Structure 1
């Protein structure tokens, strides 16, 4: 069935529609696409199973594989028996060969872990299942899904919890109204506190900036509006409650930090996608602000297009974290080296709470909560943090406080691990005095792992962390992981941009008019082309150069060009 013209909804077949621009610079859906890729409704069809009922806005294209993945991941596995309303999120790979979304300039001030993953989409699901005798199957089953490129987990979970009930009560017009509300939102710029109106309420949240001090939470400044109602303030854009996610396996959480840091294959098994998606997200947040650079799937099913790739027994498990609920995975993934079984929330600390379990004893999804692994930690277990958290459980300390204690602990632990790497990276930078305006900018020296390890004795993690153990062994394991590769590539890119800026500044401050006096025409033309290339590179890559420097450099260019013969000037100006 084709879409109804003008309503912007896709039903089975997508019919693009045209909009009249509301301004010369902002087109319809531009602001919407800064936040959300599209909204979907997935229903259960007796003949087709899960089926895409509509996509909004209607011009958004999803491939058949993406639609299939979204459909299957938008419903809990049938065994979970999720009655009522259930919320969770998933992450899918974009279809091969499809044009990837370019990284938006809006994201340049985001912390690395909040920048969009090129080639991946997130889905935020609100699933409703209720008994309904008027339906042949006896149940009403439907999901509202917000699809985005951005890992704004806390915000989008809150947003879908507002939009979905309205949709279930009032149908398609409410989804359309919600999307038009989002299309009025301001840009999500790093460091800004944004007010986001939706259905007459206002969500207020701060977008983190890469310049934020890591151990200080920046308070949200609220400005009362005479028009809008008092805002609902979200304490975080993306953070997950790690205490609640790991309450049943707390004694092993430091070991989990090592496993995530070194990119080990991990599978999280639980009864519902709400639990697995929160746990997988909590796992990758353990190493923040370091970005987790391997693949991870907060909710993964046997219908996923990467199912065979990730469950094959013909090769070692890949560096990936999977969240699963189907009992089938207990057998299919029993060869994986690290399995986490998440249980129900505890009211008291049980016996045997501290014991690790061998992988071989993990036979079913109904196995006892715990971590099933043969892994030996590199670092000694920090008993102090565990005692503090258990004492808090016994004293009924608020979950928010427990979560804050754990989050700060792992932030400090990750910082202790990363600071020596950052310090060594700084030593690879060329000296500023070696940057000449008349030569190409110097390159970063290669990262030498042995040279780095030799620095640990005098400037290693022991300077900031009291935890003993084989730090060198942990670094060696880290160097073999996608997390090291991702961190190094990101830092290399940042350093190279810094070198480009320093080189441009050297050009600005040089007396180029004097330098060209004894140079051949070909050398002068080469200098002009190099300066133009550098200015274009700076603009195209959003490299921060102050306007005064750009103006100065353009004046240099004008002076140099006028020193050339008229015919060459004409060619260069054309």
Structure 2
């Protein structure tokens, strides 16, 4: 079929590709990186997007990656939100955790790159990448999928890819809260799509219907979570500082020896704030050929709020004016942990020969959590007592989650206090407004309801909140919470109307007022049925009954206008 059909498979709104495609990028002696194949072949990519995929799918020449390498990138979708499936996006996004919602204006690229010696090729090397492009941030699932598909594809080429597309075409929709069995190439991958209502602590998916699955499924513990301990091992002593830099949306350049280290570090850093949405831009792997290179490297304005992962040392020279640069090298073990990068002043930054380190003048507001390093068994050397990496990652993830929650809970409590009281919401009056957010009032509330109630860390919490108010993350959090509260207010108003006596209200009302009520009720009903309002099914049925009752009280000519045949 030349891949999957236009509305299905990796291109479908109801499949895991989520409006994406599979690309094959090869190295052409005359053209350089070239797009060899796109599946489905009618998937719409602009020339700019094709060029970006080509450059981002190959490691930089400084990386020297031999063998197989897997990494990720994120690129801007040219022309903005041109995908036609935003109604389906809204339904999925309303139930998915904020960190797993579909990207409206960016693509993720999941790359499996192979570079091996091959005397039959003029250049002397076989160099090819299989790339899965999607709007879903399912890094763990898609990398696992590529590790199954890519080695087979590199051996058998195009026919194999067509068969895989046909299999993915049959996959169920990515439904939050459900465990999916995904057959591909004789293997069943089993994974649970997290839901917004899940408890914060993640757990591996339960294996369902395993007796009916032959062979036994490959169970993924998560669709998206990385091995945080492995990613952060060289920077554990600076976790507090890095968490604060992420919270404040500070520009950070990550220079790594290879795109896999770069992309994993950037994705791990941007996941530090869960359950808070990461509202800044981030590029797990970025090259000098990127269309946004000039935009990110200009010195005529302040550095943008972006976390940039690179491998080319040229960026150190180009971005010397950036306030925070993290250089990680090849891991050198010290005891049972890699040697920790040192905290250095930006003035120590030297072109090209920079040593691993976190180059920043930033001083953390909170004191370092020494207990964390103890919990992770810092420096433990007793044989047989090392914890598995996934256990260490769970400890680290829990620490970051509790830290973020301790910071955000006072904000949530204060925001909830701005909501009008339910008794002030009456059926036939416009509901009262949400009170404005006062930073001074909030800071005063911290004395008796601050993060010290749930977090043992000492330090300048007030200073951290003051800087947070100026960050994109406060703006993103506030907008989202205000929107949710406004919808809740609207839902409470609809419930108040449905609990009132409609006949009594209509007795002294003009036809204009009655028609206005019908139109407003219908609008609320449409919004509620579209999952935008948090209301019960019984309330929806009552509202529909009210509409019919009100219309029935009007003259026949008005009924015909409001209920056309």
Q: TM-score, normalised by structure 2?
A: 0.94
Task: Decide whether aligned partners of structure 1 residues 97 and 122 sit closer, same or farther in structure 2, where only a CA change above 3 A counts.
Answer: closer
Matches within 5 A, 1:436-455: 436-455=426-445
Whether 2:365 is the aligned partner of 1:375: answer no
* CA drift at 1:569: 1.3
Matches within 5 A, 1:14-413: 29-32=12-15, 35=18, 37-97=20-80, 99-100=82-83, 102=86, 103-215=89-201, 217=203, 219-349=205-335, 353=340, 355-391=342-378, 393-395=380-382, 396-413=386-403
* CA drift at 1:393: 4.9
SS at match of 1:121: strand
* 454, 458, 461: which one aligns with 2:448: 458
Q: Is the 8 A contact 1:437 1:506 kept in 2?
A: yes
Cα deviation code 1:314-356 (max 9, x no counterpart):
1111110000001211211121111111122343259994741
* 477, 486, 490: which one aligns with 1:500: 490
Distance across 2 between alignment mates of 1:351 and 1:286? 21
* CA drift at 1:176: 1.5
Q: Is the 8 A contact 2:112 2:131 kept in 1?
A: yes
The Cα RMSD (Å) is 2.1
Match of 2:418 in 1: 428
Task: Decide whether aligned partners of structure 1 residues 30 and 407 sit closer, same or farther in structure 2, where only a CA change above 3 A counts.
Answer: closer
Q: Which runs of 5 or more structure 1 residues have no equivalent in the other structure?
A: 1-5, 10-16
Task: Decide whether aligned partners of structure 1 residues 565 and 392 sit closer, same or farther in structure 2, where only a CA change above 3 A counts.
Answer: farther
* 474, 492, 501: which one aligns with 2:464: 474
Q: Which runs of 5 or more structure 2 residues have no equivalent in the other structure?
A: none
Distance across 1 between alignment mates of 2:21 and 2:297? 30
Whether 2:533 is the aligned partner of 1:543: answer yes
Distance across 2 between alignment mates of 1:276 and 1:379? 27
* CA drift at 1:438: 1.0
Whether 2:559 is the aligned partner of 1:569: answer yes
Q: TM-score, normalised by structure 1?
A: 0.93
* CA drift at 1:148: 0.6
Distance across 1 between alignment mates of 2:479 and 2:190? 34
Between 1:190-199 and 1:345-354, the stretch displaced more is 345-354
- Aligned length in residues: 557
Distance across 1 between alignment mates of 2:563 and 2:537? 22
* CA drift at 1:364: 3.9
Distance across 2 between alignment mates of 1:485 and 1:188? 29
Q: Is the 8 A contact 1:435 1:442 kept in 2?
A: yes
Distance across 2 between alignment mates of 1:402 and 1:167? 35
Distance across 2 between alignment mates of 1:196 and 1:382? 41
Distance across 2 between alignment mates of 1:443 and 1:555? 28
